[in-house]
Structure 1
Amino acid sequence: MGGGVLGTMHAWQAVLRGHEVIHLEREPEARGASVRNFGLVWVSGRATGPELDTALRARELWSQLGERVPGLGFRANGSLTVLRTPAELAVAEAFAARPDAAARGTRLVDAGGARVLNPALRGDFLGALWCERDAAVEPRVAQPALRAHLAESGRYTWLPGREARAVDGRGVRDDHGDHHGADLVVLCTGATLSGLVREIAGEVPVRRVRLQMMQTEPLGERLTTSVADGDSLRYYPAYRGVELDALAASQPQPAVAAEHAMQLLMVQRADGGLTVGDTHGYAEPFPFDVVEEPYEHLRRVAEDVLGRPLPPVRHRWAGVYAQCLDTGEVVHRERVADNAWLVTGPGGRGMTCSPAIAERTAEEVGL
């Protein structure tokens, strides 16, 4: 249940292991966080321990899938986290000296080295963290491409526009009144935690997080890597430590960036446009509209890094994803009935980690 990337990866694991799969999605097409994101397979910022281990395994699985399913748009483009101040550079130097930097495929490069890796970066900066293991996919087409691949097995049925209403010992009943027989039910409902999820699981230890992003017209040149700015050092758990405390003390974020918990992430899409973001909002009820100030801030930072104006913005959007309250947990995985499991709450790690999360689920439930 759930047609986003997490549900689709669970379907892939089941088909891969020889099972028949019925895949329900309440919308005509997945419309949640799985398509409203950067498409990043982001190893570099993951916390040491289970989160990093999951991301590294997921990176292997994404690469394998990319070879089998070209429509995913998988590319091992790496990333550059651009450092524009001495305080950001100090955090990066300490991070690059850690023992697990090599496992992440991360090293510090100077400004010239960064421009060799990505000639489109013509702004002023001191250096960058280069992560060769970071990658990207095309989020708007990845799930349909994977579903088409699964359908070739003859053991996969995609049923959109079907909302599950009840789970029993024999399977699932949907809102059309149809009953779908199943030995195992996996609920990957994303940020939808009400309705059936609340009925069978109660209150789940996850919170919802809202983001704002945008996408531009084609850049007109190739952005050879994904790009982050120094504010991502504040956001990703890999960078936490004494040096980061010093960064926070000596270099507070601009007011709009602090208010919206912002960082710059920038990825080029297959058509040449740039996906640019993002913000983080934690207080519900979330606003129903998007606000312009964060977009203005993102434009300024992106243009400073690129050393040129951004192309016109084509799309703006907001999205909501589910994140474990204990952010040290990669995902919330819970048995909610004899034959049913709930898997949710990967947070901003969903696109990155979903192949490995689904593999772990398959192992735990004995597929």
Structure 2
Amino acid sequence: MRIIIVGGGVIGTMHAYEAVARGHEVVHLEREREARGASVRNFGLVWVSGRSSGLELSTALRARELWEAIGAEVPGVGFRPTGSLTLCRSDAEVAVAEHAVSTSDSGERGFTLLDPGAARALNPLLRGDFMAALHCTTDAAVESRVALPALRAHLTASGRYTYLPGREVRDVSTGEVRDDHGEVHRGDQVVLATGAWLSGLVRELAGPALPVRRVRLQMMQTAPLGERLTTAVADGDSFRYYPGFDSPARDRMAAVQRQPEIAAAHKMQLLVVQRLDGGLTIGDTHEYDEPFAFDVVEEPYDHLRAVAEELLGRPLPRVRRRWAGVYAQATEPGRIVHRQSLDEGVLLVTGPGGRGMTCSPAIAETTAAELGW
């Protein structure tokens, strides 16, 4: 088969990877020179720990297996099985972690609850005060800024992959895509993986009632730390935002433990992952009401820096980069991603939400199975 994929982010690139792996030819179009959306504006985390039981967790676990295999085949993606530690600083947070460890799928997630000494033995950089740490062995990381070029180079070497950047799609119909260079690309199937681009042609094709919303976040990256952070690190506020931690214990935590005003206003959690260059990617915030601001605000960064320094027990290096990003999130209950047939042989795949980097290999594998690749 000859498959046309529109969208050079991680969802589109993983669909290209899956198609080439199954012996097909791929033409891959991206409107920018490189992906510039949520696929590169993230932590690079393969985050299993907070996924809801059932389909979301099984998808994340399958994606974790696939990422490890991809990392062995394409070392440039920077796959690292680091695991994570979510640090609990109150009795209410410890209770949420204890419940997580007691669930029937705790073993699949690789959960254990560690005392501070055991947590520091695993990650000696945690010199601040905390009461316990939820360890998740299945969490991992990739290098989000370099993973996509590495995957494309690998696909190009197959001889069955063509990447066409700087091509904005103007029209799509059965077996045919026309770009803004006036070129028509023909194939057996078309997959639109357009990320948070939900207007223009996507709206024309999918209709105005697309069950997908957009979410904006702020993040930052520091200069090299000079020490090794051996796991990803989260604070107890992350329990608030991941469905895998939904429990009476979390309800009690929400009732008795208020977030600081700035954290509540921006729906914040602390996540920290170390890049291969030694810098730390730190976030994040959540904003749901459009229109989104065109700028970033400083107070959330001050809060994130303060919490990170408290947990690490040391000052952070200077911040080298700050950015905002927008991702698309399916709003249909129980859906990992929104798939919609737009025409015969034309499929829209969008809305993985904050699961995009984590789940993209398994999302592409499911698409391939459904389309009979």
Q: What TM-score, normalized by structure 2, do the two folds share?
A: 0.98
Percent identical across equivalent pairs? Answer: 69
1:187 matched to 2:192? The reply is: yes
**Cα shift at 1:165:** 0.8
Runs of 4+ in structure 1 off by over 4 angstroms are: none
Aligned to 1:25: 30
Equivalent positions of 1:141-160 (< 5 A) are 141-160=146-165
C-alpha offsets along residues 77-109 of structure 1, whole Å, 9 cap, x if unaligned? 000001111110011011111111001111111
**1:233-261 Cα distance to aligned partner (Å, 9 max, x none):** 00110001111110011101111111000
SS of the equivalent of 1:212 reads strand
The match for 2:269 is: 263
Secondary structure at the aligned position of 2:51 is classed as coil
Q: 1:206 aligns with which of 212, 215, 218?
A: 212
Deviations 1:310-341 (A, max 9, x none): 11000000000000113531100111110100
Match of 2:107 in 1: 102
Q: Letter of the aligned partner of 2:306 in structure 1?
A: R
Shift of 1:135: 0.2
* In 2: Cα distance, 1:266 partner to 1:326 partner: 29
1:255-309 Cα shifts (integer Å, max 9, x gaps): 1111000000000001000000000000000000000000000001000110001
What's 2:182 paired with? 177
Aligned pair 1:242/2:283, yes or no?
Answer: no
Query: Which residue, 146, 157, 166 being the options, matches 1:161?
Result: 166
The whole-number CA distance in structure 1 between the counterparts of 2:175 and 2:217 is: 38
Whole-Å separation in 1 of the counterparts to 2:80 and 2:38: 21
AA partner of residue 48 (structure 1):
S
> Is structure 2 residue 89 aligned with structure 1 residue 84?
yes
In 2: Cα distance, 1:169 partner to 1:3 partner: 21
Deviation at 1:189, TM superposition (A): 0.2
The whole-number CA distance in structure 1 between the counterparts of 2:91 and 2:175 is: 61
The equivalent position to 2:329 in structure 1, one of 318, 323, 329, is 323
Q: Which of the residues 55, 58, 70 maps onto 1:50?
A: 55
CA offset digits 1:49-102 (Å, max 9, x no partner): 100000000000000000000000000000000111111001101111111100
Return the alpha-carbon distance in structure 2 between the equivalents of residues 189 and 47 of structure 1: 25
Matches within 5 A, 1:325-340: 325-326=331-332, 328-340=334-346
- For residues 283 and 241 of structure 2, the distance between their equivalents in structure 1, rounded to whole angstroms, comes to 13
Work out whether 1:364 is the aligned partner of 2:370.
Answer: yes
Shifted more, 195-204 versus 210-219: the winner is 195-204
Distance 1:241 1:93 in 2: 11
**Match of 1:228?**
234
- Partner residue, 2:317: 311
Between Structure 1 and Structure 2, how many residues are aligned?
367
RMSD: 0.6
Give the corresponding residue for 2:304.
298
Aligned to 1:125: 130
Contact in 1 for aligned 2:175/2:346 (Cα 8 Å): no
Indicate whether 1:275 and 2:276 are aligned: no
- Name the aligned partner's letter for residue 93 of structure 1: E
Which structure 2 residue ranges, 5 or more long, are not aligned?
A: 1-5
* Alignment-derived partner of residue 3 in structure 2: none
- For residue 33 of structure 1, give the secondary structure of its aligned residue in structure 2: coil
SS state at 2:347 partner: strand
Tell me whether 1:40 sits opposite 2:40 in the alignment. Answer: no
Kindly indicate whether the alpha-carbon contact (under 8 Å) linking 2:31 and 2:169 is maintained by their aligned counterparts in 1: yes
SS at match of 2:236: coil
The alignment status of 1:349 with 2:355, answered yes or no, reads yes
Residue type at the aligned position of 1:107:
T
Provide the C-alpha distance between the structure 1 equivalents of 2:270 and 2:83, rounded to a whole number of angstroms: 16
| CA–CA separation in structure 2 for the residues paired with 1:149 and 1:77 | 24
Q: Distance in 1 between matches of 2:99 and 2:191?
A: 42
Does the CA-based 8 Å contact 2:45-2:142 persist in structure 1? yes
1:231 partner SS: helix
Where 1:10 maps in the other structure, the secondary structure is helix
